[in-house]
Amino acid sequence: MLKIDTHAHILPENWPNLAEKYQDDRFPVMINAEGRHRIYKDGKFFREIWANAFDPEVRVADYSRYAVDVQVVSTVPVMFSYWAKPSQALELHRFLNDHTAEICRRYPRNYAGIGTVPLQSPTLAIQELERCVDQLGLSAVQIGSHIEDWNLDAPELFPFFEAAADLGAAILVHPWDMMGKDTMPKYWLPWLVGMPAEQSRAACCLIFGGVLERLPKLRVCFAHGGGSFPYSIGRIEHGFRMRPDLVAT
């Protein structure tokens, strides 16, 4: 039986500098200097990465030490760029998907790939989803726990979920842009508290919004073990039963 790591982020060693191209510092930028790879966003240092973030052979050597056979690779959520103009975001998503597909082509026994789509435009997202499945051989896409002001029950997003179900494409939901980050900046609380809450919100929206009921063939995986959702399921179900006027709508 294969041991599969279904949640493994990967980045290209470099990608187009859209911050410079579109004069918008919100786009993440990779700066390579003196052998160091540093990501900048909003004009500020965001994170430094090492070869195991982008070198497929280094990654295989790393994960093999833990008896993992295959990694399912997806981009880092900071690359979603849901705030951007759809055409600009699509440019970045297409580059990332081409990179992921190439890794899978070169190392078919070691990697499977998950794409990414510009969900601020569901129409473009569907087109890129179709390209991922039909042309690139990617069998799933990763999306955020919300898309700017849209939760996952937003009517605007339903055609995308419908297209994924029709194509047989799985969806990995990943937390990002955590709720409450402005009111709890200390102690890394956006990651410790906000991230699990993001996954619970996403799961509840897909359930109570009727998305999963209307699309029984849609396959969804929630990263991070579903966040806080599994641990508050009793409270959620109690709300469903006791306040159907608010919950079971």
Please tell me what DSSP assigns to residue 147: B
Residue with tokens 């103009």, as numbered in its chain: 85
Strand partners, 9: 74
Structural domain spans, the chain:
4-10+65-242
Q: What is the pLDDT of residues 92-134, one digit of tens each?
A: 999 999 999 999 999 999 999 999 999 999 999 999 999 999 9
pLDDT at 1 over 90: no
CA–CA–CA angle 18, 22, 28 (5° rounding): 35
Q: What is the pLDDT of residues 38-93, one digit of tens each?
A: 999 999 999 999 999 999 999 999 999 999 999 999 999 999 999 999 999 999 99
Q: Cβ(79)–Cβ(92) under 8 Å? A: yes
How much is the pLDDT for 35?
Answer: 83
Distance CA(107)–CA(117), nearest Å, equals: 23
Q: How many residues does the chain have?
A: 249
Among the listed residues 12, 14, 182, 36, the one whose alpha carbon sits nearest the alpha carbon of residue 97 = 12
CATH code for 4-10+65-242?
3.20.20.140
With a CB cutoff of 8 Å and minimum separation 6, the contacts of 110 are: 56, 60, 70, 71
Residue with tokens 């473009």, as numbered in its chain: 124
Confidence (pTM): 0.95
- Sign of the dihedral defined by the CA atoms of residues 222, 77, 178, 124, in that order: negative
pLDDT at 193 over 90: yes
Distance CA(106)–CA(222), nearest Å, equals: 28
Helix, strand or coil, per DSSP, at residue 73: strand
Element holding 105 (H helix, E strand):
helix 86-106
Q: What is the pLDDT of residues 129-177, one digit of tens each?
A: 999 999 999 999 999 999 999 999 999 999 999 999 999 999 999 999 9
Q: Cβ(171)–Cβ(219) under 8 Å? A: yes
Q: Cβ(49)–Cβ(14) under 8 Å? A: no
